[in-house]
Amino acid sequence: MSKAMSSKVSDKKRQMIAGVDIGTTKVVFLIGAIGEENLEIVGVGKAPTTGMRQGVVVNIEATTEAIKKAKEEAELMAGVSMSAVWLSVGGARIQSFDSNGMVAITATEVSQEDIKRVIEAAQAVAIPNDRQVLHVLPNEYKIDGQTGISDPIGMAGVRLETSVHIVTGSRSAIQNGIKCVENTGLKVSGLVLEQLASSLAVLSKDEKDLGVTVVDIGGGTCDMITFYQGSVMHTAVIPVGGNNFTHDVAMGLRTTQVDAENLKRKFGCALPDMVAEDETVDVEGVGGRQKRTMSRRDLCQVLEARAEETLQLIRTELQEKDLFARLGSGIVLTGGSSQLLGLVEMGDFVFDIPVRRGVPTKVGGLTDVVKCASFATAIGLLQYGFEQEKLITKKRMKTHEEGFGEKISLWFQKTKELFSDAF
């Protein structure tokens, strides 16, 4: 048996997990094999889509077809068929806010049940019927006024408080996304905020503790998430993305959208000074007009204006929320459009704090394929699902052990009663 065949056979025996990232311009479908400690990517599928706008479904048929193509490609590569998938949710219809909760500690020490009750208390706020809660993310806990507690289990006290960050999405937009996935014969295992998934793939624990903002620059939006002391402090969506860059190139150089996208990817740069003056590019004409040769710097000057405007919008969002003082680790740019040459260097100048490009590094398997900023969300989806699967397994084992313990206790009790009756 060949190595490829034997690896596919072994993959079928292992537990598999899948994630689908439905972006504005493309759908990414990943399949991972769950090991004892890590996750290995075994299947990758990608397909362009025209059914999305700013992260929201506008054409169910086109989006469904793109998911189906990406799914088939990933399943063919992995040699398995998937029945369930973790789905990313993002785009302009995401809103978030902070909330607080307080409960009395039932015993002398904080238990898991107390944490569950205090989070439920913080979540008990009025949410419009057209919105759906995606995540309730605890920031910190307080016990009898003592702040800065990240894990209160086992601590003594009377009163337990928490502050949480609640993320909501448009119910109709979420349901349309789920419908597109279900139309391909898949079941949705769970929903994950897009920028939260991206952060799982590209951030280290130290960065989250020191303070960092991740900006996932996609085709239609910039999705932001800020961490401080290991907790989510802020999420936001800016309705500008890579499609705006492409449109500017098409208008500025008078070419088609398709050629503008190709020029941006192959020759684009956010800083014209990084490009030699004598470099040229061939630009396709529109409506049968002849191809033209132009200076590459002309292309870069168009992109420079849009890049600077986008980064300034991100800066304004961070300034308005007074977050710059907490960004000890700076800013991480990820997503497909973050790969524009010179964007990180421009970010260093605009933000005046360290900026880097984030690529997934915490997975095995097909790393040569997925070690790219455009796969950050999809990789993060699998990592989120991997952690959730471990929690579910742990709960099942605990329930099983408790049930087995109860049966043993009952057996001893009956045996004791039997001997008591006999004597």
Q: Determine the distance from the C-alpha atom of residue 145 to the mean position of all C-alpha atoms in its chain, rounded to a whole number.
A: 34
328: left (phi over 0), alpha (psi -120 to 50) or beta: alpha
pLDDT of residue 113: 92
pLDDT of residue 413: 60
Mean pLDDT of 135-159: 91
- Cα separation, 273 vs 206, whole angstroms: 34
Sequence-distant (≥ 6) Cβ neighbours of residue 35 within 8 angstroms: 14, 364
Mean pLDDT of 26-40: 87
Mean pLDDT of 389-418: 57
Phi first, then psi, for residue 259 (nearest 5°) are: -70, -35
Residue 419 has pLDDT above 90, yes or no: no
Mean pLDDT score of the chain: 89
Residue 398 has pLDDT above 60, yes or no: no
For CA atoms 103, 105, 111, 113, give the dihedral sign: negative
Task: Decide if 133 contacts 127 (C-beta within 8 A).
Answer: yes
Task: Decide if 77 contacts 32 (C-beta within 8 A).
Answer: no
213: left (phi over 0), alpha (psi -120 to 50) or beta: beta
pLDDT of residue 5: 45
pLDDT of residue 288: 79
User: pLDDT tens, 64-96?
Assistant: 999 999 999 999 999 999 999 999 999 888 999
The better pLDDT of the pair 225, 387 is held by 225
Topology alike, domains 3-92+186-241+307-391 and 94-169 = no
Residue 146 has pLDDT above 70, yes or no: yes
Residue 261 has pLDDT above 90, yes or no: yes
Q: Where are the domains of the chain?
A: 3-92+186-241+307-391, 94-169
pLDDT of residue 397: 53
**Predicted confidence band at 9 (pLDDT cuts at 50, 70, 90)?**
very low
- Cα separation, 354 vs 404, whole angstroms: 54
Phi first, then psi, for residue 365 (nearest 5°) are: 85, -125
Mean pLDDT of 151-155: 91
**Predicted confidence band at 411 (pLDDT cuts at 50, 70, 90)?**
low
- Cα separation, 325 vs 316, whole angstroms: 14
Residue 162 has pLDDT above 50, yes or no: yes
pLDDT of residue 38: 78
**Predicted confidence band at 364 (pLDDT cuts at 50, 70, 90)?**
confident
- Cα separation, 73 vs 68, whole angstroms: 9
Mean pLDDT of 239-265: 95
Pairing of strands 26-34, 39-48: antiparallel
**Predicted confidence band at 418 (pLDDT cuts at 50, 70, 90)?**
low
CATH topology of domain 94-169: Dna Ligase; domain 1 (3.30.1490)
User: pLDDT tens, 112-124?
Assistant: 999 999 999 999 9
pLDDT of residue 335: 95
Superfamily of domain 3-92+186-241+307-391: ATPase, nucleotide binding domain (3.30.420.40)
Residue 129 neighbours by CB distance under 10 Å: 6
Q: What is the pTM of this model?
A: 0.87
Mean pLDDT of 343-362: 94
- Cα separation, 393 vs 113, whole angstroms: 19
Distances (CA, A) of 240 to 53, 93, 185, 197, 252: 11, 13, 33, 20, 18
Mean pLDDT of 315-329: 95
**Beta pairing partners, 89:** 193
Mean pLDDT of 126-152: 91
Residue 184 has pLDDT above 90, yes or no: yes
Q: Of the segments 34-38, 143-147, 271-275, which one has the largest average pLDDT value?
A: 271-275
Task: Decide if 168 contacts 131 (C-beta within 8 A).
Answer: yes
Task: Decide if 61 contacts 176 (C-beta within 8 A).
Answer: no
pLDDT of residue 318: 97
pLDDT of residue 268: 95
The better pLDDT of the pair 401, 88 is held by 88
